[in-house]
Every structure is written in C-alpha cells, then in structure tokens.
Structure 1
Amino acid sequence: MTTSTGGVCVVGSFMMDLIAYAPRRPEPGETLAGTDFVQTPGGKGFNQAVAAARCEVPTSMIGRVGQDLFGNQFVHALTIEGIAHDGVIRDESTGTGVGLPVVTEDGQNSIIIIPRANLRSTPASIAAQREVIESAKVLLLQLELPVEAVVEAAEIAHAAGVRVVLNPAPYTPLPDHLLELCDVVVPNEVELASWAGVDAEDRDEVCAAADRLSRTHDIDVVVTLGSRGVLVVEQGRRATLIDRHVVEAVDTVGAGDTFCGQLCALLASGENLQAAAVRANAAAALAVTRRGGASSAPTRDEVDAFLVDSSTIPTAPDGKDQP
C-alpha cells in the first residue's frame, strides 16, 4: 500500500496478543485453569493505528515485524484496516513481538510483553521514513520501542511542524528533551503518579501533578483515569474532568490505545483537545465492552450512536461545570 498523507502517523510496536481469560491471576507456583483463549494482533502502536483508522482518518504506521507467520498476519491486518504500511520493516533475523495478557472476570488485565523485532527499531530506521512522518498532521508515539527511536521520530515531526502526541506507556523515566518535543502527553493515572511520586488514587494529587507537568514543559496533558473518566489540562487553562461512561467491562485490553488513537485522529481532523477527548473517552468506553485489543476499537459511526444515548459534561476537578 502506498503511504498516505495527512492524518495520523503512528510510530510504534507490533505484539501478537495471546490472551488468556481466567477467574483470577494465578498464585506463584500455581497452575490455574482458564476459561477462554484469544489470539489477536496487538501492541500499543498497532492498536492505536487501528483505532485512528476506524475514525475514518488517513493513517500510516512505522515499525518492525518479523519474517514469520505473525508478521504476515500483521501486514494482512494493516491492509484490511486501510493503514498505509510502507514504513513497516520485515526483520529477517528477529521474530515479531508477542504479548501475553491475562484477563480476569472483572475485565482487568495484566500483560507480559516480549518485544523482539520492536527493539531493533533504531534512529536510522526511523529517519529513513522521514517523509511519512513529515506528511502527517499528528504523530503518535508510545514507549514499546527503544527511546532513542522515539526521540528521533519526535525530532523529525517537531521540526516539520507536525503535532507530536506521546502516550508514555509502558512507564519509563523520560529524557526532558523528548517532552520538549511533545505537544500533548497522554499518560494514565498510574504512569503520571510514577513520574510525580504521588498517590494515583488521590484525584487532587493527580490533578496537581498534571498541572505541574503541563507548566514545566509547556505541553497539554490528558490523563486517562479508567473508571473515573479523563482529566484534560491545557496550557494556561483550568483543568477539566470529563466524566466516565457507565458500561459493563468485559476486557480492558487496548482501551487506553483506543483512546489515544481516536484522540489523535480527531485532532488531525481539526477538533480541539477537549472535544477530541470527549469522543475518545466514549470510544474507550465502548472498547471495554468487547474482547481483544485492536479488534475492540469502535468505528466513527458506533461512537456517534453511543453518544446519542449518553452524555458527558466536562467539569472542573472540584465538581463545578465548565462554562
């Protein structure tokens, strides 16, 4: 497929998810019988690219898979989703990344990842895809690739005036230089709390930490709070809390990725940050009602229909409605 222009470029990971469903997580040394098993293409980068594409925005992806069966399946999936993938390299010496999520009866998940080919992404391999990055309106990054490759992508986009959005997951200490290249950072409350050394369950502390991050690095910060909604901190503006949607969670794998992918697609379409966060919040709520990672991401029409039947009123963290 030829490379698309405009829209969203995702520089990120591919992980074939081998998902085990079980009543609970096993104790050390215990063999526990599960209830189901699903194999589905995943990885934060791939999940986010699918979520963006399903928002009907041109989407391209840069990354690395193996010359193996899993790699073939990813290339096929990218084609089916209409995601431009000229920037996806087939690595001859290392296999495609693998993720091993365990999903419990309450829909919560924990995941072991084996990155494999993802770790062979280098600044040079990213720089070779400069034109793909520069042609986008929004660049979306995560941290399942080596940090130096992520920095290279951010530098290229920043220099070209492309909006840079970073989902700092999985958590790792970040160089200040990377944050200086970003326009929007989208952590969850645990990742933000790890950065700031605060209690992830204390909404006031999380809000204060997000405000400090925004002011220190002159960036917008969007904090996903799971069942508590979404916190939006725009530079120079009062923090806004977007309320949760009440749904029955089946599987939370990929919900954060759905949020990030749709947020970036909406930003690329010209939505402001708060409006984009409202719709992305609805998309993530829909995603947790379905099994799988990328496969759970809803389409634009599905989000539209969901929002007709529900509403989210942005409020200040102190509970007062925003004007």
Structure 2
Amino acid sequence: MRLLHLGNVVVDLVLTVDALPERGGDVLAGSSMRATGGGFNVMAAASRLGLATSYGGVLGTGPYGDQARDDLRREGIDFPQPPHPELDTGFVVALVDAGGERTFVTSPGAEATLTTIPETTDDDLVYVSGYSLLHELNRATLVQHLPHLRGTVFFDPGPLVRQIPPAALQTALTRADWLSCNAREAAALEDLPGRTHVLVRRGADGCSLNNQLVGGFRVDAVDLNGAGDAHSGAFLAALAAGIDPLDAARRANAAAALAVTRRGPATGPTQAELDAFLTRPTDA
C-alpha cells in the first residue's frame, strides 16, 4: 500500500516563548528553529513506520522549497509533481509557549497552487487536508477530483474547519472513508453521528474510534506541535500493515505521546521506538 498525501508541505519557523506577547507587545524567544512541516509531519511519521509515502502537492523553487525537497528525500518520500517555477514553498511562524501549546501564522506559497493530482489506485491511502480546501486553486482541483479518487480517503479537516466553504467541505466528507480530527474540530462538524469511521483525537486521554474510547499514555510534554500529525501517520501505517483499527488507534496514541516529548514538528517515532514504548514495563 502507499500513502498519497494531497495536503501542503511548508517550512515551520518555530520559536519558543515563555508566553505569547500581548497585542502590540514584544517578547524574546528562548530558542528558534527552521524545519519542514505541515503535511510533511504526517508523511514522515508514516514513512518511519514502514509505509511507502508520496507527496502529491506542489513544492516551490527557492530556499524553503530546497529544504522541503531535502527533507522529503531524507525520509524516503517521493514527490512526483514538478516544482512551481515562480513561487517558493510557503512558511509558518509557530510560537510554542511554556506549556507546550502552539500558535500559528501561515504565509502560503507554491503548496497553494495544486492543479493536478497524481493517479491513484485501489490500494492507495489518500490523505486530504482541510488546509488545502482553504486555498482557491487547491479547493477547485480537489472538489473536481475527490468524487473519482480511487483508494481509501482519509480526511482531516484541521483547526480552520469553520472557514472551509460548505460545499467543498461536504464534498470531502461525502467521499471520505475515514474522518480524523481533534475534539474541537469534531464539535464544529454536524454530520459525525452517521459516519462509519470517525477517529477523534483527545490529547493525553487518547482518542475515540467510532465513539469507543482508546486510552492514551501520560508523558511529560515539551512540545505539542505535530502531535496530531504523528497520530495520523502512525494510524495510517498501522492500517496499511493490516492491524485492526482499535489496535491501530492505540499505536497512534503511543506515537503521539512519544512525539510530544520531543521538540520540533516532525517528531514521530521509528518502528523500534514505538515498539519499545508499547512494551515498556509500566504503561501510563
């Protein structure tokens, strides 16, 4: 099986702060880093757990696009689309406070110019992100192609779900075989009760799978950035390996727990790290 990711790869500019500044204020960052993020986090998490992965979005030409390509190659992820000749890959400023919570500001780039989609097969796991439905070109392309995509569609509406145009959101929900979101995003959706496959992430409490709670793992979190992405990547890798969805959800909870103990957006574990965590003498 293959994961085909149709979301957005961007570059994260991550700054740690004691607290967010007040409006018009200024604070000094304790540390900063630049890392490929966005959809890359899901793909890296899945690829590290053995799932063949392909990025179906658009990369830019420029320093951010170059960094994204290098990081995708390092994780064994291919990217068949030609680069945008005039735009660089977009970036996100992520502020991480002392409690591990994160706040984002996004500047779109080449990833917001999707006009074609790679051919899919019945064996594909196709990841669709709500962020893509916020960009006019991406939205038009996805709305046109979603009803005809082959494979299993995994839709994550994202935190800006209320900003997605209703018709586009309904197209994605209608085609999705799996709906994955956090509790806040689930509350913003109206058609959850009738769906067959719904995965709702609930932080340290774990997740619910079709309203059945799958317990989480207590850890000392240092950075919540990318936890949901690690969860999604691990869940998809487990499904591709033929693991029962409930067991796959437990593995995803463990992957997310490991991810928040590390700083950075793409902190999903390797297979060896995940297996060791799940077989430790005392589960939290």
Deviation per residue, 1:236-287 (Å, 9 max, x gap): xxx3111121101111111101111111111112122111111011000000
Q: Which amino acid aligns with 2:227?
A: A
Q: What is the Cα deviation at residue 55 of structure 1?
A: 0.6
Q: What is the Cα deviation at residue 214 of structure 1?
A: 4.1
Which of 171, 185, 194 in structure 1 is aligned with 2:160? 171
1:241 maps to 213
Q: Which amino acid aligns with 2:154?
A: V
Distance 1:56 1:153, change over 3 A: farther
Q: What is the Cα deviation at residue 135 of structure 1?
A: 6.3
Which of 134, 148, 155 in structure 1 is aligned with 2:121? 134
Report the Cα distance in structure 2 between the residues aligned to 1:302 and 1:90, rounded to whole angstroms: 34
Which of 97, 101, 107 in structure 1 is aligned with 2:100? 107
Aligned residue pairs total 273
Q: Which amino acid aligns with 1:112?
A: V
Distance 1:260 1:150, change over 3 A: farther
Q: Which amino acid aligns with 2:101?
A: Q
Report the Cα distance in structure 1 between the residues aligned to 2:246 and 2:143, rounded to whole angstroms: 26
Give 5+ residue unaligned stretches, structure 1: 1-5, 197-211, 234-238, 313-323
Instruction: Give the TM-score, by structure 2 length.
Output: 0.91
What pairs up with 1:5-20 in 2 under 5 angstroms? 6-20=1-15
**Quick check: 2:199–2:209 contact (8 Å CA) kept in 1?**
yes
Q: Which amino acid aligns with 1:187?
A: C
2:271 maps to 300
Q: What is the Cα deviation at residue 303 of structure 1?
A: 0.6
SS of the residue corresponding to residue 250 of structure 1 reads coil
Alpha carbon RMSD of aligned pairs, Å?
1.7
SS of the residue corresponding to residue 41 of structure 1 reads strand
2:207 maps to 230
Q: What is the Cα deviation at residue 219 of structure 1?
A: 3.0
Report the Cα distance in structure 1 between the residues aligned to 2:159 and 2:233, rounded to whole angstroms: 16
Q: What is the Cα deviation at residue 186 of structure 1?
A: 0.4
SS of the residue corresponding to residue 195 of structure 1 reads coil
Q: What is the Cα deviation at residue 7 of structure 1?
A: 2.3
Q: What is the Cα deviation at residue 297 of structure 1?
A: 1.1
2:57 maps to 63
SS of the residue corresponding to residue 83 of structure 2 reads strand
Q: Which amino acid aligns with 1:63?
A: G
SS of the residue corresponding to residue 74 of structure 1 reads helix
Q: What is the Cα deviation at residue 140 of structure 1?
A: 1.2
Instruction: Give the TM-score, by structure 1 length.
Output: 0.80
**Quick check: 1:22–1:34 contact (8 Å CA) kept in 2?**
yes
Q: What is the Cα deviation at residue 311 of structure 1?
A: 4.1
Which of 181, 188, 213 in structure 1 is aligned with 2:192? 213
Report the Cα distance in structure 1 between the residues aligned to 2:144 and 2:252, rounded to whole angstroms: 27
Give 5+ residue unaligned stretches, structure 2: 133-137
What pairs up with 1:63-102 in 2 under 5 angstroms? 63-87=57-81, 89-102=82-95
2:188 maps to 194
Distance 1:137 1:65, change over 3 A: closer
Report the Cα distance in structure 2 between the residues aligned to 1:20 and 1:177, rounded to whole angstroms: 36
Report the Cα distance in structure 1 between the residues aligned to 2:30 and 2:270, rounded to whole angstroms: 29
The answer as to 2:157 corresponding to 1:150 is no
**Quick check: 1:214–1:220 contact (8 Å CA) kept in 2?**
no
1:49 maps to 43
Q: Which amino acid aligns with 1:138?
A: L
Deviation per residue, 1:295-317 (Å, 9 max, x gap): x11111111000112548xxxxx
**Quick check: 1:143–1:150 contact (8 Å CA) kept in 2?**
no
Deviation per residue, 1:88-142 (Å, 9 max, x gap): x3111222110110001111111111122121112xx12xx11xx2264311111
1:289 maps to 261
Q: What is the Cα deviation at residue 65 of structure 1?
A: 1.6
**Quick check: 1:140–1:264 contact (8 Å CA) kept in 2?**
no
1:317 maps to none
Deviation per residue, 1:176-201 (Å, 9 max, x gap): 222111111001111111224xxxxx
Distance 1:249 1:150, change over 3 A: farther
2:135 maps to none
